[in-house]
Structure 1
Amino acid sequence: MNIEQALQQRSSVRAFTNQTISGEIVRGLLKKASQAPSGGNMQPWRVTAVGGQALKDLSAKAKVTEPVQRPGLSYPAGLWEPYRSRRFENGEDLYRALNIGREDKAARLEQLAKNSQMFGAPVGIFIAVEERMGYAQWIDLGIYLQSFMLLAAEQGLATCAQGFWRMYSDMLIEQLALPAGYQIAFGVALGYEDTSAPINQWQSSRADSEEWLSLKGLD
């Protein structure tokens, strides 16, 4: 599999099989991803992989923990075009794939809650960063994340990156015994895709390149 194929294969999988993954494979993928570039070679990521009963315990803890929205770590307030429409259409397409109507708030909340269960994945990855770090270091985290997800795709594994876990940062810092002064940047579900699940039959669209791409001084 080449890089282009890995990019095409990678998607946000929201239903996994119960097939387990060895710690050796998980460790290998996370270590290889650390070849990702970072400004000043600071490598600002701190990564914790969780599986088995430990992951079940975290999921149970999340269910009884009040989520906290952190300003500036989610979508901007009053989202404008074209981003508002893209986000809206993405959500509607996702729920349509599950045959969940707009008026069915209970079913939508039930689907949202599956984030706390890593969508059934056997491994949850949590990436933390020091609170003192800035915008540039968060870019580095994104590069690490993409590197990891592409490496996982190469191995036939599926992933789903989750900003959801930022709402449970304090709980996770405590439960994962991370040093003071850190915050959770995102979680990643890792496992094998349940190809029979309706949610995995849908993939989000991409904007036409004419909306965001320009070339100057090139033939």
Structure 2
Amino acid sequence: MNVTEAVTSRRSVRQFLDKPVDKAVLEKILTTAQRSPSGGNTQPWSAVVVGGDALKDITAKIKEKAKAAPMGEGMEYAIYPKDIDGRYEEQRRAVGKGMFDAVGLERGDSAGRIAQMAKNWDSFGAPVQLFTYTKKYMGPPQWSDMGMWLQTVMLLLREEGLDSCSQEIWAMYGTYMRELLGIDDDHIFFCGMAIGYRDSDAPINNFEVPRVALGDAIGFRGF
């Protein structure tokens, strides 16, 4: 698989097969991903890879927390800007509509939509979670570095026939996630990433994800 194939075949997978992931493959991927770029070679990312009974324990505990505080508790950063608008909000809404339409959930089916979103806590059936965090004093450039590292991991997963779904939803309970993972108060929790094998037949993994035209996002000068 070349880079273009990895990029174009990558998507946020929301239904995984009940198939284990080899730890040795994950170690290979994460070792290679250490080559990701970062400003001044700071390499600001840290992560915990969780599977098996440890993941089941976190899943059970976060589900209980979500019942007690369904709107979140202990969030350490805003997942979306408060004033998001224009094409950014349009794109966010469009992918949500595509996802819900794919599984046959009408706009007014609040219970069904909540149940679908709650599948996040089960990692959409994936057997592995990668939870990422960094030092609290890190700024926007280092958060950008974390994003580049995560993208590198996602593309290397594709090379191995694996898939992923980055999940900032876990940050709704950021301080609790740090508690569950044994991360100290000097750090901030960023996100989870479900890792496993895609269920290629699942409608939720096959709807078209809209992308803006190149000219709406990129300008060229001097050509």
TM range (shorter): over 0.9
The one-letter code sitting in structure 2 at the alignment partner of 1:181 is D
Shift in alpha-carbon separation, 1:46–1:107, aligned structure 2, 3 A: same
Shift in alpha-carbon separation, 1:58–1:92, aligned structure 2, 3 A: same
Q: Give the deviation of 1:69 after TM superposition.
A: 6.5
Corresponding residue for residue 147 of structure 1: 152
TM-score between both structures, scaled by the size of structure 1: 0.96
Residues 147-200 of structure 1: CA deviation (Å, up to 9, x unaligned): 000000011001001111111221221121123311211110000001121101
Can you give the 5+ residue segments of structure 2 that lack an aligned partner in the other structure? none
Separation (CA, whole Å) in 2 of partners of 1:72 and 1:127: 14
Moved more, 155-164 or 203-212: 203-212
What SS is found at the alignment partner of 1:166?
helix
CA contact 1:11–1:159 (8 Å) conserved in 2: yes
Does residue 1:58 correspond to 2:79, yes or no? no
Does residue 1:37 correspond to 2:42, yes or no? no
Residues 113-165 of structure 1: CA deviation (Å, up to 9, x unaligned): 11111100000000111111111110000000000000000110010011111
Does residue 1:163 correspond to 2:168, yes or no? yes
Moved more, 142-151 or 160-169: 160-169
2:142 to 128, 137, 142: 137
Q: Percent identity?
A: 37
CA-based RMSD of the aligned residues comes to: 1.3
Separation (CA, whole Å) in 1 of partners of 2:35 and 2:135: 20
Once superposed, which parts of structure 1, at least 4 consecutive aligned residues long, lie more than 3 Å away? 69-72
Number of equivalences: 218
Corresponding residue for residue 24 of structure 1: 24
Shift in alpha-carbon separation, 1:189–1:69, aligned structure 2, 3 A: same
Separation (CA, whole Å) in 2 of partners of 1:134 and 1:118: 28
